[in-house]
Amino acid sequence: MSIAALLTPLIQKAITELFNQSIDKIEFQATRKDFEGDITLVLFPLLKFIKGNPAAIGEQLGNYLVQNTNEVTSFNVVSGFLNIVITDGYYTNFFNVIKDDEHFGIVAPKPEQKAIMVEYSSPNTNKPLHLGHVRNNLLGYSVAEICKAAGNKVYKVQIINDRGIHICKSMLAWQKFGNGETPQTSGMKGDKLVGKYYVAFDQTYKQEVNALVAEGKSEEYAKKEAPIMLQAQQMLLDWEAGKPEVVELWKTMNQWVYDGFAETYQNLGVDFDAYYYESDTYLLGKAVVQMGLEKGVFEKDPDGSVWIDLTAEGLDRKIVLRSDGTAVYMTQDIGTAIQRVKDFPDVGGMVYTVGNEQDYHFKVLFLILKKLGFDWSENLFHLSYGMVDLPSGKMKSREGTVVDADDLMQDMTQTAKALAEELGKLEGYSDAEKSKLYQTIGLGALKYYILKVDPKKRILFNPEESVDFAGNTGPFIQYTYARIQSILRKADFDVTAPLHIKLHPKEKELIKVLEQFPETIQNAAQQHSPALIANYTYELVKEYNSFYQSVSILGEENQQMKVFRVQLSKKVGDTVKTAFKLLGIEVPERM
């Protein structure tokens, strides 16, 4: 039990006895470094219920706690804050409880609890995954793992955008310029090969547009009537009509992409429980529109199109079925959400990991599902995130200027290699061990740099900055973990016995940070924010390094103190490993 959880009922009881008031919420914060204390009660919110001077109220509550609990030794009141000093005994007892708990901070799911479905990745099949997809995948995967750790059953899914004009552009360009090229004959990953022809289409399209404009045609006309665009549109019609040779080419090229994606996902360390394909789901939702019409949720216009009027909710009027009876993206998303709950009946909520340019779309989607009466619609969340920029500027897929995810991971590994070799700390490593270490550091740097930022914020990704061994970076945390493992390897004595000793101030501070880990996981799950886990881990490691610099560990003469410091080091290492696992980051045993 955390100290806040222990003190809350005592303070509530004190308020009842001293002031004849009942208060549900007690607000704590960490005591500021320049004051004595381990936890601080914020007094200002109490003034709504208790009349009087905050300092006098604090004095009365402080005296009550000292007299009525063994855990509080003293207190001081500063302005509207009651700083409470906790006994060493509380912290050593707490530590002895958690030190051998392999699942510290992790909550087992309750069988009766509804599951959460987390959607992420969801790429198009006309190009490889790029830097933007990397942030999407890392966020979605990490949020899924954090929700699991917080006690939820979780399903990870994606919907692959495998139909539409974009894939027809790649198919057509391959037909025109490919000469039968395949991933096997070219030696290229399948997704990169298909992406190559998407770029080739765009280059040819621009040439044809320019040629038409040179003939005196308007740019608007040229863009619509460029021959290669008309051919791509015809190919889309042929696909929708089920023309065998077009469908066969579509299947072949999509499979090239899926094989390429699978390799990237494996290297990135993300996985999925189920895949949905737009070619299967694009007709879903049409039946729901009829149900919505009968319920009065939707309305039909004279031309036969179907709409929903959300102006009363501050949104606009949204089409859900065209006049020719074809579905729009919104219809498809409605149908897909309903289908997923049919496929996984224990799902009680969904998290959609999609960029912030789709904020409005998801507001509308969630509201429509709510109006249609689905109870799980109360638990839908759009994990909206900002774009990732590079120092060189924005990325454009059509022009082939995107930062390819595979290339980025390879570059990060090479950057880590160059830095590690420069630092010269790899004596005795085999080539295979070095290669694995470079990858662990490089990917750890990439993942941590992206995940430490609040999802809603835009990121300027600087590869060199991310692989720094100092500051708030993945390699700094990995290095501290490896340092702890080195201490444990050298500790050739029994470190299992529970101990009760007088704590050094640095030991106490470290246990106080460890105590925050379970609550941090719960908060990160509620806020869908891996950044809370990342920055907690940095604070823990910073506190450990301060402890490491301030006290002797293996050189300590007092055996009990030496054993305790090794135990404390091990628990910090274990917690770092658990936290980084929630972020999808590996930790090296040596560095």
Instruction: Tell whether 130 is covered by a domain.
Output: no
Give, as one character, the DSSP assignment of residue 113. Answer: S
Domain span at 209: 164-269
Residues 6+ apart with CB under 8 A from 118: 140, 143, 144, 147, 154, 155, 156, 157, 350, 351, 353
Residue 173 CA neighbour count, 13 Å, CB half: 22
Angstrom distance (rounded) from CA 579 to CA 68? 36
Is 90 exceeded by the pLDDT of residue 381? yes
Q: Does residue 81 share a domain with residue 173?
A: no
Angstrom distance (rounded) from CA 420 to CA 418? 6
Instruction: Tell whether 224 is covered by a domain.
Output: yes
> SS3 of 35, please?
coil
Alpha carbon 186 to chain centroid distance?
35
Instruction: Tell whether 251 is covered by a domain.
Output: yes
The C-alpha angle with vertex 113 and arms to 108 and 119, in degrees rounded to 5, equals 90
Q: Which amino acid is at 138?
A: L
Q: What is the pLDDT of residues 98-125, one digit of tens each?
A: 999 999 999 999 888 899 999 999 999 9
pLDDT for residue 487: 97
What are the φ/ψ torsions at residue 319 (nearest 5 degrees)?
A: -80, 140
Strands 388-389 and 459-460: parallel
User: In sequence order, what are the beta bridge partners of 354?
Assistant: 384
Instruction: Tell whether 68 is covered by a domain.
Output: yes
* DSSP per-residue string spanning 421-459: HHHT--TT--HHHHHHHHHHHHHHHHHHHHHTS-TTS-E
Region of residue 424 (left: phi > 0; alpha: psi -120 to 50; beta: else): left
pLDDT band at 325 (very low <50, low <70, confident <90, very high): confident
Q: What is the pLDDT of residues 460-475, one digit of tens each?
A: 888 888 888 888 999 9
Q: What is the pLDDT of residues 552-584, one digit of tens each?
A: 999 999 999 999 999 999 999 999 999 999 999
Q: Of 269, 292, 324, which residue constitutes the final position of a domain? A: 269
Is 50 exceeded by the pLDDT of residue 396? no
Is-contact 467 415, C-beta < 8 A? Answer: yes
Strands 39-42 and 380-385: unpaired
Give, as one character, the DSSP assignment of residue 28. Answer: E
Classify each residue of 162-194 as buried b or exposed e, where b means 16 or more C-beta atoms within 10 Å of its C-beta. Answer: bbbebbbbbbbbbeeebeeeebeeeebbbbbbb
Q: What is the pLDDT of residues 165-222, one digit of tens each?
A: 999 999 999 999 999 999 999 999 999 999 999 999 999 999 999 999 999 999 999 9
Please give the sequence-ordered ranges of beta strands (E in DSSP) within 62-189, or none if there are none.
72-78, 81-86, 115-119, 154-160
pLDDT for residue 395: 42
pLDDT for residue 148: 97
Give, as one character, the DSSP assignment of residue 63. Answer: H
pLDDT for residue 108: 93
Q: Does residue 262 share a domain with residue 172?
A: yes
Angstrom distance (rounded) from CA 162 to CA 478? 39
Q: For residues 329-336, give the mean pLDDT.
A: 94
pLDDT for residue 401: 54
Instruction: Tell whether 582 is covered by a domain.
Output: no
Q: Of 242, 269, 296, which residue constitutes the final position of a domain? A: 269
Angstrom distance (rounded) from CA 580 to CA 443? 12
Q: What is the pLDDT of residues 480-535, one digit of tens each?
A: 999 999 999 999 988 888 888 899 999 999 999 999 999 999 999 999 999 999 99
Is 90 exceeded by the pLDDT of residue 418? no
Q: Closest Cα to residue 339, out of 424, 400, 280, 251? A: 280
Is 90 exceeded by the pLDDT of residue 326? no
Angstrom distance (rounded) from CA 62 to CA 181? 78
CATH of the domain at 35: 3.30.1360.70
Angstrom distance (rounded) from CA 314 to CA 335? 24
Residues 6+ apart with CB under 8 A from 574: 102, 104
Instruction: Tell whether 176 is covered by a domain.
Output: yes
Q: Which amino acid is at 484?
A: I
pLDDT band at 591 (very low <50, low <70, confident <90, very high): confident
Helix pair 165-177, 190-214: axis angle to 10 deg? 90
Q: Closest Cα to residue 3, out of 99, 94, 65? A: 94
Is-contact 132 96, C-beta < 8 A? Answer: no
Instruction: Tell whether 100 is covered by a domain.
Output: no
Is 80 exceeded by the pLDDT of residue 402? no
Give, as one character, the DSSP assignment of residue 377. Answer: G
Is 60 exceeded by the pLDDT of residue 398? no
Angstrom distance (rounded) from CA 159 to CA 118? 11
pLDDT for residue 302: 96
Instruction: Tell whether 231 is covered by a domain.
Output: yes
Alpha helices by DSSP H, 99-226 = 131-149, 165-177, 183-186, 190-214, 219-225
Is 80 exceeded by the pLDDT of residue 126? yes
User: In sequence order, what are the beta bridge partners of 74?
Assistant: 85
Q: Of 86, 108, 130, which residue constitutes the final position of a domain? A: 86
Q: Does residue 258 share a domain with residue 170?
A: yes
> SS3 of 124, please?
strand
**Three-state SS sequence of 281-323:** HCCCCHHHHHHHHHHCCCEECCCCCEEEECHHHCCCEEEEECC
The percentage of residues in the chain with a pLDDT greater than 70, rounded to a whole number, is 98
Q: Does residue 260 share a domain with residue 171?
A: yes
pLDDT band at 60 (very low <50, low <70, confident <90, very high): very high
Angstrom distance (rounded) from CA 264 to CA 279? 22
**Total count of domains within the chain:** 2
Q: What is the pLDDT of residues 428-468, one digit of tens each?
A: 888 899 999 999 999 999 999 999 999 999 998 888 888 88
pLDDT for residue 498: 84
Q: For residues 585-589, give the mean pLDDT.
A: 96
Q: Closest Cα to residue 571, out of 510, 505, 489, 508? A: 510
Average pLDDT score, the chain: 93
